[in-house]
Structure 1
Amino acid sequence: MQSPVMADINECEKFPPVCKDDICNNYLGGYSCSKKAWKKPTTKSALQAVQGTSISSGLLLLFFCLWFLYKIIKKRRKIKRKQKLFRRNGGLLLQQQLCSSEVNVETIKVFNSKELEKATDRFHKDRILGHGGQGTVYKGMLTDGRVVAVKKSKIVDESKLAQFINEVIILSQVNHRNVVKLLGCCLETEVPLLVYEFIPNGTLSKYIHDQNEELPLTWEMRLRIATEIAGALSYLHYAASFPIYHRDIKSSNILLDEKYRAKIADFGTSRSVSIDQTHLTTLVHGTLGYLDPEYFQSSQFTEKSDVYSFGVVLVELLTGQRAISIRRSEEAGKSLATYFILSMQQNRLFDVLDPHVLKGKKADIMVFANLAMRCLNLNGRKRPTMKEVTAELERIQMSEKKNFNVPQDSEEVEDLRTQDFEPWEVVSMSTGPASDTGLASSSHELPLLSFTSL
């Protein structure tokens, strides 16, 4: 009997391969593995590999060099642009002034743009403290930990940059506890940036018109704030290096610090004048409701124009009402000044006072009201100076502290109540856009920057 033939199994076809990466040789009954024969690469293929690697490396190096060169050129252009803006914004003039012996260099700091961009998180919208007709104010923190307010103006007038620099120098040397301190400026941006000390508790306007029950503005606080503002204006008019007219005194330009002390801010339209100069002739700047009617007619701004505006602030403190309001009747007038004068003439003062003011002594309130009337006199020459206003308010404060009544000049009070007020005042103070929630600007021309000068 013939034995069956055994079928051959090809181990080389198994998976995974039995010889892995080697060559598998199958034969009947088994298999064997052998190493692959090594072939020497041709010169051509090796050359192609080297060329490919060299080209890739060269392109990468070229790209890096071009990128590096681009960065250098961009940085140089940025530096040149900053230098150009610095010169355009009056930087050379400022440097000359700083080198002179007449200027206290320690009071002025010239910030670089990178420093202020970092302080304000690149002027992020979340850092905005407020907007105004002249620009936007941002809250920032310097590298030394100081919190500051950075004012970025909307426009720049190259023809007035020399005056701007002079004004910055003057105002940076103003040193009064009730004037917001100018710390310095930055001139290498499109528009100059001004850096002020930061005042945390907002504007006086907020506390008068949006009263907080947790912190009511008492009669004593109102009297103290009025005295502080008057003292600061008196300082600017008479004790500064040059007389300085603010030209836009209003409750929203008066800030309250952590101890609720008043500080005058926003010298956007302020002017310094020579000592022998009695007035400025300019295009009308200011805010409706606070604008001196005499200045409105003549375009001549005097120290008494600031007095009139301050008089409106006194009336705001007394009544708690806005300088312009559409809620008042046509008969009373939209202007708070007109409304107050009519109330005084009709002997209705205590009918229009804020409830917190009524808690004060009537005699002192009457003296305060009469002082406000004198500040609002249509004839600027008959208005008191800020020195006289400050002295009168200090006397009222002393009266409150000593708890005795200040005797009043009944003839002067009667004269004030019966004084004739020209009819055009009611019209001029009531025309133009007005709202009860804000004050409209009556400026015919936007101010230069945060500071301008003659």
Structure 2
Amino acid sequence: MVYQWLFQMIFLLWPLSSSYSSALAKAPPPPLSKPNCLSSCGDVIIPFPFGMGANYCYLNDSFAIDCKSNNKPFLRSINLEVLNISLTDLTIRVQHPVSNSCLTINETKILENTPFYYSHSNKFTSIGCNNIAFMSDFNNSRLGGCSSICSDERGKTEFGDCNGINCCQTTVPWKIIQSFNTSFEAMNFEGENYTQECKYAFLVETEWFDNEFTYPDEFVQNWTQVPVVLDWNIFNSSLDLSWREHRSSTECYDEVLPFLLCFCRTGYEGNPYLLDGCHDIDECATNGAACERHMICKNTNGSHRCIPHKDANVSIIILGIGTGLGGLLLLIVGWRLCIIILKRIKRKEELFKRNGGLLLQQHLNSLIDGSVDRCRIFNSKELNKATDNFNVNRILGQGGQGTVYKGMLADGKVIAVKKSKLVDESKLKEFVNEVVILSQIHHRNVVKLLGCCFETEAPLLVYEFIPNGTLFHYLHDENEELPPTWDMRLRIASEVAGALSYLHSAASLPIYHRDIKSTNILLDDKYRVKLADFGTSRSVAMDETHVTTRVQGTFGYLDPEYFRSSQFTDKSDVYSFGVVLVELLTGQKPICLMRSEGSRSLVTYFIACMEENRLCDILHAQVIKQGKQEEIMAIANIASRCLNPVGKKRPTMKEVAVELEAILVAKNESKMLQNFVEIEYRETEVTEPSWNVVSTSTSTSFEDTN
């Protein structure tokens, strides 16, 4: 009877805590606009950097919104009606004009000189009978096109059907498009006489068109505009980013991109582009809060806690009189603890399996050359302790593949822990294969992979710690203690080339790095090169010449041939290395909006200077002062060959490495000879260089040695 009464009381008290969470009112959503600024026009929410009213409300004139008298928002810079703005996708949906063959004007220059460009979620669509429609740029280069024939039952097309009968579609090219024109041609089949009818062509949001398209001849002739998705971005130079260092609720990626991309961290919501724009989510006010029925939900910044209900505790104490009841309580508590521990163990096992831990172990166990010990599998507790639970103060850097933290193991060894983004399970085998290959790479100029951990939501990779940061910061941030001399620039170039040559030619399987840039080149305590960040790397079979992937990379370093074809080859790494060589020669960033329009791309500027025999206009002053003419011209010619727009005409990394090593050896031999002469003759006078170059708008460079 006592036990029966006890269980009845427990079940009566069990639902008490659930009423606390459900009684909480849901907090209003955080503001998306600046204070004292209008937040909507009609049904459209206007988040910053867009805004209405005074210029305080928007970032710059490109993002100004005018709310017309009919409560419809128009983007002032392009004068198009706004349908929706997304901070997450960096897109804006607008009403875009339709081109008509019966009209003479079919040009679209709406987006030129703005931060907007046509998204790849649109499709170029044409409607008409026996019709060919083309989409071209203003150099008359065709970007795409499609053709449609007549149906037996003219004027009728099945719902959502655009398959070449009265209607055709094609995808938008994978390139930045801000302007285009439309042209029409008649197919003129024998016996057909439909060429006099008006034809229509337009870019349109794919999802909207699939849902709205029914009968073209009845409805399209009344269309003057259709929804189109535009991508937008904020260039880093247009925004003061110093406020990001004082906030913990926002995560931004701008060091590896020419534009700003921000998100609210997990547990926060709002506008990440506003100061204090990300607000804590009150999980306790949301239905389905992750607390059991006998627990009280307590909200915390970025998360929540579940604590026992005090009334339940009091009831348990009252009902727990006697050793029998106390024993039963201990039994219940022990049982609950057991369940919690088993759940944690099971969760770790699930994560280990999901993230590829078992697959990695199978690969390592299959190796018979002693390489098993080269890649250690860490547990999550060990790495949490090493990084102080991934404290934000331990962050070394952030990129598209994840965040890197500084840590220290129990034996005192300093490490770098890369917390990767969630891995797509469909690419799990590729990820594990890369870890196995990288764990076997031993090269003095490649960062050593020490191990990995699969017990967390996202895989963790453990690397050796490299203390002197990236080549990007070394070149572009002033370093008064140890500035980058010509000798150091030449040695760094040779070491990077040697590492890439090893990956391409000497590794057990050729490896394409796929993200060569100065931010992925680290410098150790002696400023020796350590090539890093293999998050997008791919290994290829000996008989393969390329990998076909979705285009990934960093603007300014991306191989234009790869951008057009989606086929990445070893020569794509050569092109990116050529950009790094130009950085070393010039000390300039690959993309700089402060330069003139024709010179914003460092590669374009460099090639122009080479062709016009004015190389000195772009060289860094220290390079001109310290480097010899023949050495500088030799390096510039190597860079020019690496940047050839045709991949087959570029040298291999092995050839580049050999040439750079030869220049370095010749330089060292020349130094030894010079030192010998100085000792022999005790010369103390320093002679001026035999060539003197002044960087002006009218100066000419030294003669090309080729």
Deviation per residue, 1:220-275 (Å, 9 max, x gap) = 00000000000000000011110000000000000000111011000111000000
CA distance in 1, matches of 2:326, 2:705: 92
Shift of 1:211: 2.2
Report whether the alignment pairs 1:85 with 2:347: no
Match of 2:442 among 175, 180, 186: 175
Equivalent residue number for residue 350 of structure 1: 616
Report whether the alignment pairs 1:161 with 2:403: no
Equivalent residue number for residue 195 of structure 2: none
Shift of 1:63: 3.9
CA distance in 2, matches of 1:138, 1:53: 50
Report whether the alignment pairs 1:95 with 2:95: no
CA distance in 2, matches of 1:413, 1:296: 31
CA distance in 2, matches of 1:195, 1:59: 50
After superposition, the Cα gap between the structure-2 partners of 1:236 and 1:62, relative to the gap in structure 1 and judged at 3 Å, is same
Equivalent residue number for residue 508 of structure 2: 241
CA distance in 2, matches of 1:68, 1:139: 38
Match of 2:605 among 331, 335, 339: 339
SS of residue matched to 2:598: coil
Equivalent positions of 1:219-298 (< 5 A) are 219-298=486-565
Greater displacement, 302-311 / 345-354? 345-354
Equivalent residue number for residue 185 of structure 1: 452
Equivalent residue number for residue 137 of structure 1: 404
Using structure 1 for the length normalisation, give the TM-score.
0.76
Q: Given that residues 320 and 326 in structure 2 are in contact (C-alpha distance below 8 angstroms), is that contact kept between their aligned partners in structure 1?
A: no
Deviation per residue, 1:335-393 (Å, 9 max, x gap) = 11111001111111112111221111111011011110010011111111111111111
Q: Given that residues 547 and 569 in structure 2 are in contact (C-alpha distance below 8 angstroms), is that contact kept between their aligned partners in structure 1?
A: yes
CA distance in 2, matches of 1:64, 1:288: 62
Equivalent residue number for residue 430 of structure 1: none
Equivalent positions of 1:303-314 (< 5 A) are 303-314=570-581
Q: Which amino acid aligns with 1:324?
A: I
SS of residue matched to 1:398: helix
SS of residue matched to 1:148: strand
Q: Which amino acid aligns with 1:284?
A: V
Greater displacement, 368-377 / 341-350? 341-350
Tell which structure's C-alpha radius of gyration is larger.
Answer: 1
After superposition, the Cα gap between the structure-2 partners of 1:268 and 1:138, relative to the gap in structure 1 and judged at 3 Å, is same
Q: Given that residues 153 and 191 in structure 1 are in contact (C-alpha distance below 8 angstroms), is that contact kept between their aligned partners in structure 2?
A: yes
After superposition, the Cα gap between the structure-2 partners of 1:264 and 1:53, relative to the gap in structure 1 and judged at 3 Å, is closer
Q: Which amino acid aligns with 2:416?
A: A
CA distance in 2, matches of 1:129, 1:135: 11
SS of residue matched to 1:331: helix
User: Higher relative CO (CA 8 A, sep ≥ 6), structure 1 or 2?
Assistant: 1
Equivalent positions of 1:309-388 (< 5 A) are 309-332=576-599, 334-358=600-624, 359-388=626-655
CA distance in 2, matches of 1:335, 1:71: 61
Number of residues of Structure 1 aligned to a counterpart in Structure 2: 357
Match of 2:479 among 212, 224, 227: 212
Shift of 1:58: 5.0
CA distance in 2, matches of 1:70, 1:282: 49
Q: Which amino acid aligns with 1:189?
A: T
After superposition, the Cα gap between the structure-2 partners of 1:302 and 1:231, relative to the gap in structure 1 and judged at 3 Å, is same
Q: Could you say which structure has the higher helix fraction? A: 1
Q: Given that residues 514 and 572 in structure 2 are in contact (C-alpha distance below 8 angstroms), is that contact kept between their aligned partners in structure 1?
A: yes
RMSD (Å) for aligned C-alpha atoms: 1.9
After superposition, the Cα gap between the structure-2 partners of 1:413 and 1:245, relative to the gap in structure 1 and judged at 3 Å, is farther
Shift of 1:60: 4.6
Greater displacement, 264-273 / 141-150? 141-150
Q: Given that residues 127 and 140 in structure 1 are in contact (C-alpha distance below 8 angstroms), is that contact kept between their aligned partners in structure 2?
A: yes
CA distance in 1, matches of 2:550, 2:439: 25
CA distance in 1, matches of 2:574, 2:519: 16
After superposition, the Cα gap between the structure-2 partners of 1:61 and 1:363, relative to the gap in structure 1 and judged at 3 Å, is same
Shift of 1:307: 0.3
CA distance in 2, matches of 1:280, 1:94: 23
After superposition, the Cα gap between the structure-2 partners of 1:53 and 1:297, relative to the gap in structure 1 and judged at 3 Å, is closer
After superposition, the Cα gap between the structure-2 partners of 1:361 and 1:414, relative to the gap in structure 1 and judged at 3 Å, is closer
SS of residue matched to 1:123: coil
Shift of 1:56: 5.4
Q: Percent identity?
A: 66
Shift of 1:317: 0.3
Shift of 1:189: 1.2
CA distance in 1, matches of 2:553, 2:400: 11
Equivalent residue number for residue 447 of structure 1: none
Q: Given that residues 153 and 193 in structure 1 are in contact (C-alpha distance below 8 angstroms), is that contact kept between their aligned partners in structure 2?
A: yes
Equivalent residue number for residue 334 of structure 2: 68
Q: Which amino acid aligns with 1:255?
A: L
After superposition, the Cα gap between the structure-2 partners of 1:274 and 1:53, relative to the gap in structure 1 and judged at 3 Å, is closer
Greater displacement, 62-71 / 373-382? 62-71
Using structure 2 for the length normalisation, give the TM-score.
0.49
Shift of 1:92: 1.7
Q: Given that residues 364 and 399 in structure 1 are in contact (C-alpha distance below 8 angstroms), is that contact kept between their aligned partners in structure 2?
A: no
CA distance in 2, matches of 1:70, 1:152: 32
SS of residue matched to 2:551: coil
Shift of 1:53: 12
Greater displacement, 245-254 / 145-154? 145-154
Q: Given that residues 319 and 325 in structure 2 are in contact (C-alpha distance below 8 angstroms), is that contact kept between their aligned partners in structure 1?
A: no
Q: Given that residues 211 and 217 in structure 1 are in contact (C-alpha distance below 8 angstroms), is that contact kept between their aligned partners in structure 2?
A: no
